[in-house]
Copies of this chain bind each other. A is one copy, B any other.
Amino acid sequence: MLSQQELIQLFKETRSDSEKICSFLETEDYVVQPVENVSPPKWHLGHTTWFFEEFVLKKYVDTHKLYDENTAYVFNSYYESVGEKVIRTNRGNLSRPTVAWIYKFRKYVTEQMLKFLNNNELDKEILGVIEIGCHHEKQHQELLYADIKYILGNNPLLPKYNDEFKENIIQDFQQEWINIPEGVNEIGHKTEGFSYDNEKGVHKKYIENFNISNKLITNGEFIEFIEDDGYKDVLLWHAEGWDWINENEISSPAYWHTIENEWHQYTLNGLEKLNPKAPATHISYYEAFAFAQWKGMRLPTEEEWETAQKHFDWGSRWEWTESAYSPYPNYKKPEGALGEYNGKFMVNQKVLRGGSVATSRDHTRPTYRNFFHPQLRWQFTGFRLVK
């Protein structure tokens, strides 16, 4: 557990990082919601602030004056047990509160939080909630990158975000198969550091012998799949994946464009020629699975990944696993509103492991369980194979 001083540091950095991410946006970019799972950047900024006011200041600071009683509820997300919420698909219809208002709201709450943190010796419970609030905001930082990429990358003008963000980290080493012998392994979060409820509860897992690649699948390899008509062979796909690619006319990863017969990729730096050596990204679980079928291999389970991860580099792409997102054997949902954090999503989603170029500093670890629906590709997702 962090000391109060360390937490103050984490809190300051986290608050500041969110604003840095948004500093490259035009006001208009903060407002739109082109699809349901993308939220307007201004909503992320407001929601992460609402979290601290709702779960810390309102609860633990008697003298706290709410910044604006009538407005903040707009930033509730899925905490259905805490009053009204604005329906997710409506977020992009709200021009007010304005971006300027939200920055003032942020400033106020950040200041009140720092006053509270600096002037009181806080107990474990409160420190725990604040730590969760920081990690919660880090999750939204990652969402900010993905949502901003979606907003700009689906605008017909394809504007760039900035020149600095580096999406493609080349794996300049030999492909090898790492063998993990069969046996009972311990799975789950063991250290003292921060973790979410969903990765807690260390438990034993019997894992059979397997071989896992030290490299992520690259754009070049994915082009081979496309050129071998992988998107047209029904036998490679889940039934629901097949319907999904056909209904949505999908025939390549997201953000890929062909211009004069050459593959290009929209990145946060703008449209670029596709680099065949870069790890493939913006791929759905359905596509990762079909690729694996085509290779005669498969995706790792999350326990295989966790067991093997110390033997390979990871962190540039969230890696799809074959595992459905389910509770660990000893999973206990936290009490109260924070209990809605993870447990209620444990159906119809797939676990991803690792982390990506968009993951905030210190916001991933070997036991971290990310999860998305199998068709989603707006995150920096990729995969490695097992045989």
* Residue ranges of A at the interface with B (Cβ–Cβ < 8 Å): 26-34, 42, 70-71, 74, 78, 80-81, 86, 90, 92-99, 151-152, 154-157, 159, 182, 184, 203-206, 208, 210, 234-235, 237-242, 285-286, 289, 293, 298, 301, 322-324, 326-327, 329-330, 333, 339-340, 344-348, 350, 374
| Stoichiometry, copies per complex | 4
A235 and chain B: residue at smallest CB distance? B81
**16 A/B residue pairs, CB under 8 Å, sorted by A:** A26-B98, A29-B95, A32-B94, A70-B157, A71-B157, A95-B152, A96-B157, A97-B157, A206-B206, A208-B330, A285-B347, A289-B347, A324-B326, A347-B374, A348-B348, A348-B374
Q: A102 CB to closest chain B CB, in angstroms?
A: 10
CB contact under 8 A between A159 and B96, given known A81-B234, A238-B346: yes
Q: A297 CB to closest chain B CB, in angstroms?
A: 12
Q: A87 CB to closest chain B CB, in angstroms?
A: 11
Q: A373 CB to closest chain B CB, in angstroms?
A: 9
Contact B96 A235 (CB under 8 A): no
3 residue pairs, one from A and one from B, having the closest CB atoms: A324-B324, A34-B93, A28-B95
Q: A179 CB to closest chain B CB, in angstroms?
A: 15
Q: A326 CB to closest chain B CB, in angstroms?
A: 6
Contact A96 B206 (CB under 8 A): no
A187 and chain B: residue at smallest CB distance? B206
| Residues from chain B with Cβ under 8 Å of A322 in the complex | 326-327
Contact B80 A242 (CB under 8 A): yes
CB contact under 8 A between A96 and B28, given known A184-B206, A241-B347, A339-B235: yes
Contact B323 A326 (CB under 8 A): yes
Q: A294 CB to closest chain B CB, in angstroms?
A: 12
Interface centre among A32, A289, A333 (most CB of B within 10 A): A32
Q: A381 CB to closest chain B CB, in angstroms?
A: 16
Contact B208 A344 (CB under 8 A): no
A90 and chain B: residue at smallest CB distance? B34
Give CA–CA (A315, B109) in the complex, Å: 50
Contact B80 A28 (CB under 8 A): no
